[in-house]
Amino acid sequence: MSSARLAALLALLAAPAAAQPKPADEAFRFFAGEGRASTALRRVGPTQGSPVPVDVITAEEIAASGVVNLWDLLRFRVGLDVVEGRSSAGSNRAVVSVRGTPRDNSHELLVLLDGRSLYDPRSGVTLWEQIPVQLQDIERIEIVRGPNAALYGSNAGLGVINIITRRPSGPFKGEAAARGGTGRFGELSAAGEASGERGGLRLSATSRTQGGAPTAADPGTQGHDFNRDHTGNVRGWARVGEATLELMAGLDRQNFGKTSGLKPQGYMFTDFQLARLEAPVGPDSTVEFRASRNESLSSDFPDPAGRDTSSRFWQYDAEGLHSIAWGGGRLHTTYGAAWRYAASGSAYLYGATPLRTNRTVRGYLHQSIEVVPTVSVMGGMNHETADAGGYHKDFQGAVLWAPVEEHSFRASYSRANVKPQILHRYADFNFDIGNGFLGGHLAGNRSLNPSPLTNYEVGWRGQLRDKALTLELTGFYTEIRDHINLDQTSGPNVYNLAYDNTNTVILRGLEAGLRWRAGPGRSLYSNYTQETVADQDAHAIYLNTTPRHKANFGFDWALPFDLRASANAGWKDAHKADSTSGAAQAEIPAFWRLDARVSWSPASWLEVFVAGQNLEQPYRREYVDGLLVPRRIQGGAVVRW
């Protein structure tokens, strides 16, 4: 970042310091909400007492960020790495990883939407662009770094991200927004809600279009990766006696282009339904039951070889849990059981047997004990069996010590497992390796075992100056044995790939974060992440693909004259970009990324804004497969009533 730009940022920070911004209810909710979370322990509690590090992105931060894509909300968070894939295959345009190994098929991170798993049961990854949620619907995002498989089971080996949507509250209110920008970007959205003492309902919808990104070979040429996306959501709740029933549903339809082969187009339709019943069964005892269903249909057309590449997967989930505090509030127990049925149908993916299924059953128990007022012990276990992954056990234990108020030290040990998914075991398909030539084949491996993960972690979290200043340090060491890799093998085709899990991967790192809340509507943050990744097989997908150093800085500041400014700046060390769709790697030099937003609210019902992402460069490369991340400038208005 140039000295002139850095000086401009500092001037923006310093200028409003003398002014007294108007207090806002939103700011006070931001301060209070950031200190509590529910994901780490599956019950609401202070983040100060969590056995694993927790980061919270509030609705106010989301509104102030000016981002267009969901994954851009995670770019500047400690311990996370985001790569805007721009894959020529077009199936996964963003890769989000925690604590290293950013790659297409990163399945150690569990992503939830209101507690419902979002991972693709075919391959265990999260397709971020297909998540049926809208930014205006998100109340908060809770990020758990570190294993939490004792409560969530497989795929929670390195962390959990829980996207929590807004629950309708208060009398009728709504908002509508329109924005447009560079790269043929346009978006219209609207939401409305109403609630009373016995129930509430919220409806929302978004329609978006984006043009293609520049190509690496010729940055002046736009790629074929256009995207047209339509999303709708409904969330309602009702009182049933002492219980609360919540119903949620959503759908997302996309048409997008692919730059590979004959430049085909892709289509995907995703929908979900969820019902959740929560009821008190005593003064400190709550039971919860949830059931959900989701389905996805996808296809490419035309296919270079005239094949039917359509696929369908569907999944049913059911879970019940009981949370109870006893022993005068010094003990807290959470236990439950869950069942899942996942099915994937595709003659293209699985050859002669086009329908593949996977059933999973698990039971879990978590216990917290306050030994003395300054020392707490927590532990949990999960027993799980699945058709595709077999049987495994997960364990988690932690000690928390709070010698003085607002300061806590923690040490934890975790044993988690990442299980193979349907595609890992049953894949059997040919793919295009360029110019419409079908010279590749992907084969599954039915001998794959769960990948056991062992994690050791220590940390400290402190709050100073009447909780206005929060500091956090975390160090970790993680070993993943029998790690699932995609390796080249011999065979009749030019390029043959098969899954195996003979590798061992070791992750080491340090995470540091600081946040200062200067007052209502004024906050600053900075964080730093240091990570190293090694593996016994010297596999290209791990060697130097994780940036060794990452640093982020930002602010959100209320200005005079009803203005508000925010900026996020992030620096990544030099690293390599990798892709599972080919053997090539690209050298990515160290770079800065700057995102910023300025808004003006002349009335309580109107906000006008301009925002930009990747402002430091007109375009840059984050990935291997042919497309670049462009600079984006966009503006618009929000009307509320």
CA 465, 468, 473 angle in degrees (round to 5)?
90
Give whole-number Cα distances, 249 to 114, 214, 246, 341, 351, in Å.
11, 35, 10, 19, 33
Q: Is the pLDDT of residue 11 over 50?
A: no
Please tell me the predicted confidence (pLDDT) of residue 22.
38
Q: Is the pLDDT of residue 212 over 60?
A: yes
At residue 203, φ and ψ (nearest 5 deg) are -125, 145
Q: Is the pLDDT of residue 515 over 80?
A: yes
pLDDT, tens digit (0-9, with 9 covering 90-100), for 594-613: 999 999 999 999 999 999 99
Give whole-number Cα distances, 119 to 107, 131, 355, 516, in Å.
8, 10, 19, 34
pLDDT, mean over the chain: 87
Residues 6+ apart with CB under 8 A from 334: 41, 42, 43, 151, 321, 322, 323, 324, 365, 366, 367
At residue 368, φ and ψ (nearest 5 deg) are -115, 135
On the 0-12 / 13-18 / 19+ scale of CB atoms within 10 A, 604 is exposed
**Least confident piece of the model among 132-136, 415-419, 538-542, 634-638:** 538-542
pLDDT, tens digit (0-9, with 9 covering 90-100), for 285-340: 999 999 999 999 988 887 766 778 889 999 999 999 999 999 999 999 999 999 99
Higher-confidence residue of 30 and 330: namely 330
Element (H, E) at 335: strand 331-345
Domains of the chain: 3-191+199-449+457-640 (2.40.170.20)
**Least confident piece of the model among 83-92, 112-121, 478-487, 542-551:** 83-92
Nearest to 640 by CA among 242, 76, 172, 93: 172
Complete DSSP assignment for 8-47: HHHHHHHGGGSS-PPP-HHHHHHHHHHTEESTTTTS-EEG
Please tell me the predicted confidence (pLDDT) of residue 41.
87
Q: What is the chain's alpha carbon radius of gyration, rounded to the nearest angstrom? A: 24
**Least confident piece of the model among 191-200, 276-285, 477-486, 573-582:** 573-582
SS (H, E, C) 104-121: CCCCCEEEEECCEECCCC
Cα–Cα distance between 516 and 550 in angstroms, integer?
20
Q: Does pTM top 0.75 for this prediction?
A: yes
Residues 6+ apart with CB under 8 A from 25: none
Q: Is the pLDDT of residue 425 over 60?
A: yes
Cα–Cα distance between 127 and 133 in angstroms, integer?
12
Give whole-number Cα distances, 355 to 16, 256, 297, 345, 387, in Å.
61, 26, 14, 4, 14
Token representation of residue 402: 């709070």
Cα–Cα distance between 450 and 107 in angstroms, integer?
12
At residue 365, φ and ψ (nearest 5 deg) are -145, 135
Q: Is the pLDDT of residue 4 over 50?
A: no
CA 596, 77, 112 angle in degrees (round to 5)?
110
- Note whether 594 and 551 are within 8 A (CB): no
On the 0-12 / 13-18 / 19+ scale of CB atoms within 10 A, 508 is middle
- Note whether 320 and 289 are within 8 A (CB): yes
Q: Is the pLDDT of residue 29 over 80?
A: no
Please tell me the predicted confidence (pLDDT) of residue 213.
85
Cα–Cα distance between 572 and 102 in angstroms, integer?
13
Residues 6+ apart with CB under 8 A from 85: 92, 93, 94, 95, 104, 579, 622, 623, 625
Please tell me the predicted confidence (pLDDT) of residue 574.
93
Please tell me the predicted confidence (pLDDT) of residue 394.
95
Q: What is the arithmetic mean of pLDDT over 6-25?
A: 37
Nearest to 123 by CA among 97, 96, 147, 155: 155
Q: Is the pLDDT of residue 532 over 50?
A: yes
**Alpha-carbon dihedral angle through residues 96, 101, 103, 109, given to the nearest 10 degrees:** -40
Buried b (16+ CB within 10 A) or exposed e, 211-245: bbbbbbeeeeebbbbbbebebbbebbbeeeeebbb
What percent of the chain is predicted at pLDDT more than 70?
A: 90
Cα–Cα distance between 626 and 302 in angstroms, integer?
21
Please tell me the predicted confidence (pLDDT) of residue 581.
52
Cα–Cα distance between 400 and 370 in angstroms, integer?
9
Please tell me the predicted confidence (pLDDT) of residue 119.
84
Give whole-number Cα distances, 620 to 89, 237, 340, 631, 637, in Å.
19, 45, 41, 9, 29
Q: Is the pLDDT of residue 7 over 70?
A: no
Nearest to 51 by CA among 457, 594, 504, 553: 457
State the CB neighbour count (10 A cutoff) for residue 46: 11
Cα–Cα distance between 181 and 335 in angstroms, integer?
49
Amino acid residing at 208: R
| Region of residue 580 (left: phi > 0; alpha: psi -120 to 50; beta: else) | alpha
Split at pLDDT 50, 70, 90, the class of 579 is low
SS (H, E, C) 391-418: EEEEEEEEEEEEEECCEEEEEEEEEEEE
Please tell me the predicted confidence (pLDDT) of residue 434.
62
Nearest to 129 by CA among 253, 291, 282, 272: 253
- Note whether 621 and 84 are within 8 A (CB): no
pLDDT, tens digit (0-9, with 9 covering 90-100), for 348-385: 899 889 999 999 999 999 999 999 999 999 999 999 99
| Residue 338: alpha-carbon gap to chain centroid | 22
Residues 6+ apart with CB under 8 A from 14: none
Nearest to 618 by CA among 608, 605, 632, 607: 632
